[in-house]
Chain A
Amino acid sequence: SQQGEEDPQALSIQEGENATMNCSYKTSINNLQWYRQNSGRGLVHLILIRSNEREKHSGRLRVTLDTSKKSSSLLITASRAADTASYFCATVSLPSNTGKLIFGQGTTLQVKP
């Protein structure tokens, strides 16, 4: 079964606007990670937030984590056309000794210039 599920599946905004993507998961986790993928390319790690953290920032990215609701959100502020990509959350279900990092279906973001 899918561990992480993103919402919305697709998002289209104008350059300069903020983009918010949400991720829900089902089990206890050690950390939650967000990745970006440009079409047909490999994934690039954006940010990791640990289960004991509630918010984390990296440049124009802001990630929140609510372990009581088993959900996370990724906010991209002042979006640019170059932010157009698919964004995935990923988690390892606990307990685990194999590092089975499971990805959600992703949110496809289109930023119009």
Chain B
Amino acid sequence: ETGVTQTPRHLVMGMTNKKSLKCEQHLGHNAMYWYKQSAKKPLELMFVYNFKEQTENNSVPSRFSPECPNSSHLFLHLHTLQPEDSALYLCASSQRTGEGTGELFFGEGSRLTVL
């Protein structure tokens, strides 16, 4: 148990569907992250939030829409995805971010399959 919970663990959706991934951290951290992990590719940072404010958008297509209502919750809204978006989506949190970014705590991931 890492203190970061992701739901759902598995999601299958069609290209016209709209779905959301949810992440919740119980660690009192101030920063939250979304990463994408595709087969045979390194982890790709998607978004960084610090105190609910987005501080990094790593050129992510607009079909991925993040939402951070508070420091404990992070969502990734998905719409009109493509099959190549199929991947493991990992949420993480850390006490602080910036140049002194320390240890990230990861959830178990949401395995997304786009048909």
> With an 8 A cutoff between CB atoms, is A59 at the interface?
no
Is there an interface contact between A95 and B2, defined as CB atoms closer than 8 Å? no
Is there an interface contact between B88 and A99, defined as CB atoms closer than 8 Å? no
Binding site for B on A (CB under 8 A): 2, 30-31, 33, 35, 40-45, 48, 88, 90, 92, 94-106
Fill in one digit per residue for B31-75: 1 if any A CB lies within 8 Å of its CB, else 0: 101010000011101001010000110100000000000000000
CA–CA, A103 and B41, complex, Å = 10
From B96, B102, B111, give the contact of A40 (CB < 8 A).
B111
CA–CA, A35 and B45, complex, Å = 15
A98 with B56, Cβ < 8 A, contacts A88-B43, A92-B99 known: yes
Q: Which residue, A31, A99, A105, has most C-beta atoms of chain B within 10 A?
A: A99
Is there an interface contact between B2 and A99, defined as CB atoms closer than 8 Å? no
Is there an interface contact between A98 and B48, defined as CB atoms closer than 8 Å? yes
